[in-house]
Amino acid sequence: MTVAAGLLRGDGIGPEIVDAAVAVMDAAGADIEWVTLPAGEEAFTNTGSAVPDDTAEALRSLGVALKAPYTTPLTGYTSPSWGIREAIEAYANVRTVQYFAHPGARYPGLNLTLVRDQTEDLSRSVSQRSSDGDVGIGLKIISRHASERVARFAMQWAVDKGDARVTVGHIATGQRATDGLFLESAMDVAPDFPGVSVDEEILDGLMTHLIQDPSSYRILLLESVYGGIMCGVMAGLAGTVGVMPGAIVGPHGAVFEAGHGSAPKYAGTGRANPAGMILSGAMLLDHVGQRDAGDRVRAAVAATIAQGDVVTRDLGGTATTSEFAARCGELAS
């Protein structure tokens, strides 16, 4: 059955990589009717808003979208990605990495998913400077409601994906009021998921063990700021951020997005790796019940990287964005 989904084409390298993703998804047999939604620089120029009200309403109505990265300018308007998160009231951010055979990949067996809260922590931007400007104060906010909600999401994700382990990362020994509440909330939820092993690890030890051998970890559950840092660690484990797909999920929809930025200096050069965007498309296909097509997309990306003759620079080759996508499309069809 045809599914209508929003298409947010992004800024910078966004249009190139999202077009690549759509082409590979089509080749794999995806049955999607794309609805292009304006956002970002062009939308701001035309409407005065980086996420127009019509776009926000369409996201809620459609309930699913594929989103390329957007540029956040230093002045002019706030992050379009933030506006999109607000439109669907996203509370969970998902990022995944797995082992692909390329020169920068050092961890066979890597298969890791991060689930991070999107609503609290220092990311709430409750902060100020002292009157003399010499002291900065940031308020870290953690609530039981938000912590339990994102914990349930992570554990249900584990059930749905057939994973058996969720690890809660924290610094509850030092941040007892905040991290302690986050950890307590997650552990209170755990008995509702008897098939999932839920453990916890202090963040510095977790980082060390991931770098030594990430193969035994499956799903990491973290607060917002720690999770943002972990995204960078995961990109390093995978050898490049270019193969990291992801999603933001809320009560009003799910938006699937690559785990990197808009890289405006590379726009139009054909140098961008579209793999993360293509794999985000595969996640979208899973979400709308077109799992067979999603599996074909994933298999095509893995085979293209393994063959090694048509891959982008970050994967050790010289292929362009469109050449990489064309090979993926051939293998997915």
pLDDT digits (tens, 9 = 90+) for 240-251: 999 999 999 999
Counting Cβ atoms within 10 Å, is residue 170 exposed (0-12), middle (13-18) or buried (19+)? buried
Residue 101 lies in a domain: no
| Pair (111, 177) in one structural domain | yes
pLDDT > 80? residue 314: yes
The runs of H, that is alpha helices, within the chain are 14-27, 40-47, 53-62, 80-88, 144-161, 179-189, 203-212, 224-238, 275-287, 291-307, 321-332
Residue 323 lies in a domain: yes
Counting Cβ atoms within 10 Å, is residue 280 exposed (0-12), middle (13-18) or buried (19+)? buried
Average pLDDT over residues 184-197: 97
Average pLDDT over residues 253-265: 96
- Written as one string, the DSSP assignment of 144-187 is HHHHHHHHHHHHHHHHHHT--EEEEEE-TTT-TTTHHHHHHHHH
Number of domains in the chain: 2
- CATH code of residue 256: 3.40.718.10
User: Which of 220, 238, 256 finishes a domain?
Assistant: 238
Residue with tokens 């484990």: 237
pLDDT > 90? residue 174: yes
| Pair (143, 247) in one structural domain | no
Take residue 225 and report the two structure tokens written for it: 């700021």
> What does the pLDDT look like over 73-120, one tens digit per residue?
888 898 999 999 999 999 999 999 999 999 999 999 999 999 999 999
Please state, in angstroms and rounded to a whole number, the distance separating the CA atoms of residues 331 and 296: 8
pTM: 0.95
Average pLDDT over residues 52-65: 98
Q: Residue 125: which pLDDT band, with cuts at 50, 70 and 90?
A: low
Query: Is residue 52 within 8 Å of residue 27, measured between CB atoms?
Result: no
pLDDT value of residue 63: 98
Residues 6+ apart with CB under 8 A from 145: none
| Pair (262, 164) in one structural domain | no
Residue 100 lies in a domain: no
Residue type, 133: G
User: Which of 238, 254, 274 finishes a domain?
Assistant: 238
| Pair (266, 310) in one structural domain | yes
Residue 226 lies in a domain: yes
Average pLDDT over residues 18-46: 97
Query: Is residue 95 within 8 Å of residue 318, measured between CB atoms?
Result: no
Residue type, 179: D
Residue 184 lies in a domain: yes
pLDDT value of residue 31: 98
> What does the pLDDT look like over 192-229, one tens digit per residue?
999 999 999 999 999 999 999 999 999 999 999 999 99
Residue with tokens 């620089």: 41
> What one-character DSSP code corresponds to residue 190?
G
User: Which of 238, 269, 286 finishes a domain?
Assistant: 238
| Pair (144, 181) in one structural domain | yes
| Pair (62, 28) in one structural domain | yes
Average pLDDT over residues 161-189: 96
| Pair (62, 119) in one structural domain | no
Range of the domain at 307: 1-95+240-333
Average pLDDT over residues 179-197: 97
| Pair (78, 38) in one structural domain | yes
Tell me how far CA of residue 15 lies from CA of 20, 39, 67, 222, 328, in angstroms: 8, 12, 10, 31, 18
Q: At what angle do helices 14-27 and 321-332 cross, to 10 degrees?
A: 10
| Pair (2, 86) in one structural domain | yes
What percent of the chain shows pLDDT beyond 70?
99
Q: Residue 24: which pLDDT band, with cuts at 50, 70 and 90?
A: very high
Q: What's the angle, vertex CA 25, arms to CA 158 and CA 329, rounded to 5?
A: 120
Please state, in angstroms and rounded to a whole number, the distance separating the CA atoms of residues 307 and 319: 13
